[in-house]
Amino acid sequence: MSITVETRNDIAVVDLGTDENRFSPTWLDSINAELDTIEHNAKALVTTGTGKFYSNGLDLDWLVANGDQAEAYVARVHALFARILTFPLPTAAAINGHTFGAGAMLAIAHDYRIMRDDRGYFCFPEVDINIPFTPGMAALIQSKLGPQAAVTSMTTGRRYGGPDAVAAGIADATAPDSEVVATTVDRLTPLTGKNPATLGAIKNTMYAAVIAELT
């Protein structure tokens, strides 16, 4: 399924799709087009998925078939992380299921994360699939996690369920599957109404070093 958007309480809820929601070039085109609209018409941003996956990240099949475009592709993925990290509205990931690799980095780039409490893993598997983090990816993760959580998640490939993710500071809260999106919307609703230009400027200052690595 393609990316879809609905609005709840003036908050844009972006559904990343019903499959593994990997970052194909077409998917990247679609998410950026939706973000262009949301940035000027909504009061906050929530991203989620439908089914077993929030996102499994990089489209490795596409990368294998298009190795000559790998550098440009990774730059586009970095740009998406930077965009979410500094988005001029409150943001939160409603993590409905498995969230791996660059999909987990996308979730980390949001201001907040609410995970399903019973199923689904959050994981950086790079150490086990022999794909080292780029400097930008490492900077992003380390800007959001405490030192020991970063070491454990980045160097062991540990899979975190919802309660473990909260304990590690990866997620802010958990919710039942049927309530993940509603709980996430409720988390952002009191935070709407900030001036987008000011909020964007604050985020750009907070994460200046990360943005420098990503771009």
- The per-residue pLDDT for range 62-81, each reduced to its tens digit, is 999 999 999 999 999 999 99
Write out the DSSP string of 97-144.
SEEETHHHHHHHHSSEEEEESSS--EE--HHHHT-PPPHHHHHHHHHH
Q: How confident is the model at residue 1 (pLDDT cuts 50, 70, 90)?
A: low
pLDDT tens digits, 121-179: 999 999 999 999 999 999 999 999 999 999 999 999 999 999 999 999 999 999 999 99
Q: Which CATH architecture has domain 4-214?
A: Alpha-Beta Complex (3.90)
As a whole number of angstroms, the distance between CA 195 and CA 192 comes to 9
Q: Domain residue spans in the chain? A: 4-214
Spatial neighbors of 20 by CB under 8 A, at least 6 apart, are 53, 55, 56
CA-to-CA dists, residue 120 to 3, 43, 49, 86, 177, angstroms:
20, 28, 12, 27, 10
Residue 207 has pLDDT above 90, yes or no: yes
Q: What is the pLDDT of residue 115?
A: 98
Q: Which long-range contacts (CB under 8 A, 24 or more apart) does 193-199 make?
A: 193/43, 194/90, 196/39, 196/88, 196/89, 197/88, 199/88, 199/89, 199/90
Averaged confidence pLDDT in the chain: 96
Bridge partners of residue 6, in order along the sequence: 13
pTM above 0.95, yes or no: yes
Residue 2 has pLDDT above 60, yes or no: yes
- Summarize the confidence of residues 83-87 as an average pLDDT: 98
Number of residues in the chain: 215
